[in-house]
Chains A and B, each alone.
Chain A
C-alpha cells in the first residue's frame, strides 16, 4: 500500500499543475508575497480502504439486485448512489476504467503499480467472470449517468451495432499503447463525463459529455457500447461468467414480451426455426480463416506506418519535432514548451535521443496494435459466419450490461421476483 502513495501523490501533483495552468505575473508595486509551491498530501490509506470497500459492496449489491432480487428499481437506486459517490463525491478518479492505463504503464515498465490500483482494476473483472457485468449495472458512474437519461431508446440495427463495437478495441489498444509508453492517459484525458463530475475541465470535454448524454436519451449508453475500453474487457471476462442475466429465471416460454426490452440490443432472439444452408456458412468461414493472417499482416503493416503519428501522443516526441521545425524554419514561431525547454539549457541532442527511444517503442507498439486490430476484424468476421441454434430469448453474456430492464417484462420472471421478495407484492 505504501508503494501506492508516491504514485497517487504524483497524480495529484500533476492534476494540480494542470489546473494551475493559468499563471500571471505577480502584481507590480505591491507587497504581495508569492505563495510557495506545495505538494498536496496523498490520499490516506483509510480513504483508499473505504473506496475499495464501497466498490466491493456496490458490486455485491449490483449482483444481488440483478441475479437474486431481479429488481430494476433497486439497480436504479444503486446507480444513483454510485453516481453520487463514485462520480461527484469521488470525482471519477481513481476508477477501474482509468486503472487500465496504470496497469499498462506498469507493464510497460514506466511506473510502480500500487496495490490499490490492482484491486480496483481486477475487482470488477473478477466479479464479471462469476456474475457478468455487475460493474456496468449500477456501479460505474459513467454507465450510471448514461443509464439514467435513457428516455426512448431506439433499436440500432445489429449490423451497425456489431461493427461499431470495433471502436472500443481501437480505443483500448491506443490507450494501452499511450500508457505503456508513459506518453498519455487517454482514457482519463478524454473521459467525457469527468468534466461533469468535477465541475471543471476543458470545455470541449464538458460539451462532449453533455452531447453524449443528449444522444443517450434515444440511443442508450453510447459510450458503454461503442467506446468504453474497460467495458470491452468486462465483456471478455463476462463471456466466462457462470451466471448470465436470466430474463426468464426458469423456462422461457417465447412469449416475446421482452423482445424490445433491451435498450442496448443485448437480447438474443431464438433462431432455431430458420436454419441456414450449411454449405453457405462453411464457405464463408473457410474464406475468412484464410483471410485472417492477411488481415493481421495488413493491420501490422498499417500500424507500422502509423507509428510516427502515434508517437506524437508523447510530449517529448512532439517537443523534439517542434525544435526540429523551429531550427529548419518550418515552425511559425516557438511554443511555450520549446521556450521552457531552452530555459533548462539541456542539450537538444539529449531530447532527440529520448524521442528516438520513444519512437522505437511506438514502432513496436503500433505494429502490435495494428496486428491486434487485424485480428479483431478477422475475429468479428469469423463470428459472423458462426451459426448457433437458439430456441429461447437470452441475454448475451458479453453485451448485457445487467441493467435489469428486461427482467420485469418476463411473466415467468415476475413470479420469481415475487417469490424472492417473499411474496411481498401479492
Chain B
C-alpha cells in the first residue's frame, strides 16, 4: 500500500492525519453513544416483563370476576398485542443497534489504522540505551505474584459459588412445637394433644373448673392455636376480618389485629355458606408470628405482640362453600392448600410463604378441584411430608420445596376431613369413599401398593370431622354423631357408638382420653380402649364447632361466642 503521506504533497500528510484522527474520534464517540443506548435498551428488555403492566393486571383482575365479558376480553387482547409489539420493536432496535455499533467500531478501526500510518516515525535506537537484560529475580517475583493471584481467584470462586449453608434454624425445634399448639389439630395436624391433657371436670354453665371465659368480637369457626402464654384465633364477617390474641393466664384480650387494605385484593366471594363463615381456617403460630387466612384470600401475618408483619391477597378463591382449609407450618414456611374451582381449571395450588417476611417460597399447581380439608405436616421414616386431601387424591409433598412425593387415589365427593397420621400410617377418609390407611413412602401414584388397609362401611365414614388415631386405634366420627373405633393393625372395627347428636368438630386425643365435642357443646371424654367406655362429660354452655387446643395443662376451646380455658391456674 502506498504511504498516504506521499499521495499528493507533504502537506497532505497532515491533512490525512487530521481527517483520520477526527474520524476516529467521531467513530469512538458514536460507538460509545450507541453502546450506552444499547445498554439502556438491553436493561429495559431484561428488567421489564412486557406482560406485567399494571393495566394488564387490572384488566385480568376484572376478567377474573367477569370471565365472559367480551369487551374486557377485547381490551386484554388489544393491550397484549400492543405490549408485545412494543417489546419486539425494542428487540429489533437492539439488533439494528448492534449493526450500527459494529459499523462504528469498524470505522474506528479503519481510522485508527490510518492514524498509525500517518504518525509513523522512523526509529531512533541511538537515542536510548539498549534495553537492559531481563532480571530473573523480578521475573520470579512476578511469577509468584501471578500464581498467588490465580490461587486467590480460585479461592474466591470457591467462596462465591459455594451453595448457601443451611441456615441456623430460626424455626422452633420439634419439642417446642409439640409442647405448644401451633396449628389446627396440633403441631402435626393429627389432633393428638399432650399426655398430661387438662382437667376433665368442668361445666361452663356454672363456671365450675373454667379458668376464664372471654367474649369474641366477631364470629368464626376457626379453632384456637396457642403458644406459651398466648392464644390466637380469628373472627370475621363479610366486611371485617380480625385476628385475636388472648392471654392464656387470665383471658385478657391482648390485641386485635384488624385486616386493612391489601393491594391487589380482588372483590370478595359471593357464595360463602353460613356454615363455613368468614373465619373458618385456623391460623398458625411459631411463637414469634401468627398467620391467618380468610375466605377472601387475605393472608395476614402479625408478630405475637400484634405488630402487622405482612399481608398479601392470594386472589379470591373459587370455592362453593367458602374457603375453609387451615394453614400448616413447616420450619420457616406457612403452607396454604389453596384448592378451588374445578379439576381442570388449573386454579388449585399449594403455596408456601416465609413466615417472617411473607416472601413466596413456592407455588405448586395441584391439578385438583375445590376442597375444604387442611394440610398436615408429618415426620415419617422417609422424611418430612405434607399431606393434602382432595377429591380424588391424597397427595404428599416435600414441605420445604413443594415437590410432589406420592399420591393415592382413594377419595370421592366434597372433601371435608383432613388426614391424620399415627403408627406410621396416614389415614385419609371421606364419606362415599373409604378410610384408607396409607404407608407414606414411594414415588408417583402408589394407589396400588401403599394402601395397607381400608375401611368402607358407608354410615361410619365422616364428611366433615377428621379421623384421629394413636398407634393402636383409629376413631371416626360422622356429622350425625356415629363414633367408630377401628384397629390400626388391620382396620377391623372394634366398636361403634351413636352419640345421637350432630358433630362438626373433629375428635381429639389428649391425656389418655378421646375428646368428642358435639355441636350443642357437650364434651364427651372417653377412654382410649377397645370398647366404648365414657369417662367424663362436660357442658360448654354454647354450641361449638371447633377443636380444642391443649397447652400447659390447659384446654382452650372456642364456643359460638366465647373462648374459654379449662384446667390449671
Question: A162 near B142 (CB under 8 angstroms)?
Answer: yes
Task: Report the minimal beta-carbon distance from B325 to chain A, rounded to whole angstroms.
Answer: 23
Pick from B98, B403, B443 the residue with the most CB of A within 10 Å.
B403
The answer to whether A347 touches B154, judged by C-beta atoms less than 8 angstroms apart, is no
Of chain A, the residue at the smallest CB distance from B56 is: A28
Per the bound structure, the CA–CA distance linking A323 and B139 in Å amounts to: 47
Contacts of A27 in B (CB 8 A): 77, 80-81, 84
Instruction: Report whether B39 and A259 are in contact in the complex, using a CB–CB cutoff of 8 Å.
Output: no
- Which residues on the B side are within 8 Å of A217 (C-beta)? 112
**Is A321 an interface residue when CB atoms closer than 8 A count as contact?**
yes
Query: Residue A359 at the B interface, CB < 8 A?
Result: no
Kindly state the separation between the CA atoms of A271 and B135 in the bound complex, as whole angstroms: 12
Interface string of A302-321 (1 = CB under 8 A from B): 10011011001000000001
A151 touches which one: B116, B142, B157, B167 (CB < 8 A)? B116
The answer to whether A29 touches B109, judged by C-beta atoms less than 8 angstroms apart, is: no
Q: Contact at B163–A159, with CB atoms within 8 Å?
A: no
> Which chain A residues numbered 321 to 356 have a C-beta less than 8 Å away from chain B?
321-334, 338, 342, 345, 347-348
Using known A-B contacts A306-B158, A325-B163, A327-B400, determine if residue A259 contacts B146 with beta carbons closer than 8 Å: no
Give the shortest distance, in Å, between B491 (CB) and chain A (any CB): 31
**Does residue A269 face the partner (Cβ distance < 8 Å to B)?**
yes
Q: Which of A29, A213, A348, A373 contacts B77 (CB 8 A)?
A: A29
CB contact under 8 A between A256 and B146, given known A24-B51, A210-B105: no
The answer for the CA separation of A381 and B1 in the assembled complex, in Å, is 44
A203 to B151, CA, bound (A): 28
In A67-93, the 8 Å CB interface with B consists of 73, 76, 88
B161's contact among A256, A274, A312, A347, by CB below 8 Å, is which? A312
B134 within 8 A of A: yes
Asked whether A11 is an interface residue with its Cβ less than 8 Å from the other chain, the reply is: no
Given contacts A306-B154, A327-B398, contact A347 B443 (CB under 8 A): yes
- A347 to B406: give the CA distance in the assembly, Å: 11
Interface residue from B116, B125, B136, B161 paired with A309 (Cβ < 8 Å):
B161
Report whether A334 and B362 are in contact in the complex, using a CB–CB cutoff of 8 Å.
yes
Q: How far is the CB of B5 from chain A (nearest CB, A)?
A: 15
B99-124 interface code vs A (CB 8 A; 1 in, 0 out)? 10110010011001101100000010
- Are A330 and B165 in contact (CB-based, < 8 A)? yes
Task: Determine if A302 and B154 form an interchain contact, defined as CB atoms under 8 angstroms apart.
Answer: yes
Is B154 in contact with A284, judged by CB distance below 8 angstroms?
no
Q: Cβ of A37 < 8 Å from any Cβ of B?
A: no
A259 is contacted by which of B38, B125, B150 (Cβ under 8 Å)? Answer: B125
Which residue of B has the minimal Cβ distance to A161? B142
Give A12-53 as 1s and 0s: 1 = Cβ < 8 Å from B's Cβ atoms.
000000000000110111100000000000000000000000
Q: Which residue of B lies closest to A169 (CB)?
A: B150
Q: Give the chain A neighbours of B493 by CB distance below 8 A.
A: none
User: In the assembled complex, which residues on chain B have CB atoms less than 8 Å from the CB atom of A377?
Assistant: 143, 147
Residues 266-321 (chain A) with a chain B CB within 8 angstroms: 269, 271, 274, 284, 302, 305-306, 308-309, 312, 321
Q: Does B172 contact A (CB under 8 A)?
A: no
Closest CB of chain B to A69's CB: distance in Å?
Answer: 13
The answer to whether A166 touches B136 (Cβ under 8 A) is no
Grouping DSSP codes into helix (H, G, I), strand (E, B) and loop, the B interface class, with mixed when no group exceeds half, is helix
Q: Are A196 and B102 also in contact (CB < 8 A) when A27-B81, A29-B77, A329-B167 are?
A: yes
The reply to whether B165 and A158 contact each other, CB–CB distance below 8 Å, is no
Interface residues of B in 143-167 (CB under 8 A from A): 143, 145-147, 150-151, 154, 157-158, 161-167
- What's the Cα separation between A257 and B122 when bound, in Å? 9
Chain B residues within 8 Å of A29, by CB:
73-74, 76-77
Cross-chain contact A163 with B142 (CB below 8 angstroms):
yes
A312 and B151 CA atoms in complex are apart in Å by 17
Q: Is the CB of B163 within 8 A of A28?
A: no
Cβ–Cβ contact B143 & A148, under 8 A: no
Give the docked Cα–Cα distance between A332 and B360 (Å). Answer: 10
B143 and A163 contacting across the interface, CB-CB below 8 Å: yes
Docked complex Cα distance between A305 and B146 (Å): 19
How long is the Cα–Cα vector from A321 to B165 in the complex, in angstroms? 11
A145 to B139, CA, bound (A): 30
Q: Could you say which of A28, A163, A260, A332 contacts B139, with CB atoms under 8 Å apart?
A: A163
Flag if A324 contacts B163 (CB, 8 Å): yes
* Contact of B401 with A by CB under 8 A: yes
CB pair A28 B42 closer than 8 Å: no
* Interface membership of B361, Cβ < 8 A: yes
Q: Which residues of A are found within 8 Å of B35, using beta-carbon distances?
A: 207, 210
| Contact A257 to B139, CB < 8 A, known contacts A196-B102, A199-B98, A269-B131 | no
**Beta-carbon contact of A330 and B80 below 8 Å:** no
CB pair A342–B143 under 8 Å, yes or no, is: no
Contact among A148, A312, A329 with B400 in the assembled complex (CB-CB below 8 Å): A329
Q: Please, which residues of chain A bring their CB within 8 A of the CB of B95?
A: 199-200
Interface residues of B in 274-333 (CB under 8 A from A): 331-332
Chain A residues positioned under 8 Å from B84 (CB to CB):
24, 27
B342 close to chain A: CB less than 8 A: no
Q: Is A255 interfacial (CB 8 A cutoff)?
A: yes
Q: A148-B113, A203-B42, A325-B164 are in contact. Are A24 and B50 (CB under 8 A)?
A: yes
Are the CB atoms of B139 and A162 closer together than 8 Å?
yes
Task: Flag whether B54 is at the interface (Cβ < 8 A).
Answer: no
* B359 sits at the interface (CB 8 A): yes
**Distance between Cα atoms of A312 and B157 in the complex (Å):** 10
* A279 → B minimal CB distance (Å): 14
Distance from A77 Cβ to chain B, minimum over Cβ atoms (Å): 8
| Residue of B123, B134, B361 touching A333 (CB-CB under 8 A) | B361
- Counting CB contacts under 8 A, is B263 at the interface? no
List which B38-56 residues lie within 8 A (CB) of chain A: 38-39, 42, 50-51
| A380 closest partner in B (C-beta) | B143
Name the distance in Å between B39's Cβ and chain A's nearest Cβ: 6
Within 8 A of A (CB), among B176-226: none
- CB of A118 within 8 A of chain B? no
Can you sample 14 A-B contacts with CB below 8 Å?
A27-B80, A88-B102, A157-B138, A159-B135, A162-B142, A199-B101, A210-B35, A309-B157, A309-B158, A323-B401, A326-B401, A377-B143, A381-B140, A409-B123
Q: Knowing that A162-B142, A166-B143, A284-B136 are A-B contacts, what are 20 other residue pairs whose CB atoms are under 8 Å apart, sorted by A's residue number?
A: A27-B80, A28-B76, A29-B76, A88-B102, A148-B113, A149-B112, A200-B98, A217-B112, A256-B126, A260-B123, A260-B125, A309-B161, A327-B401, A328-B166, A329-B169, A329-B332, A330-B167, A334-B401, A342-B403, A377-B147
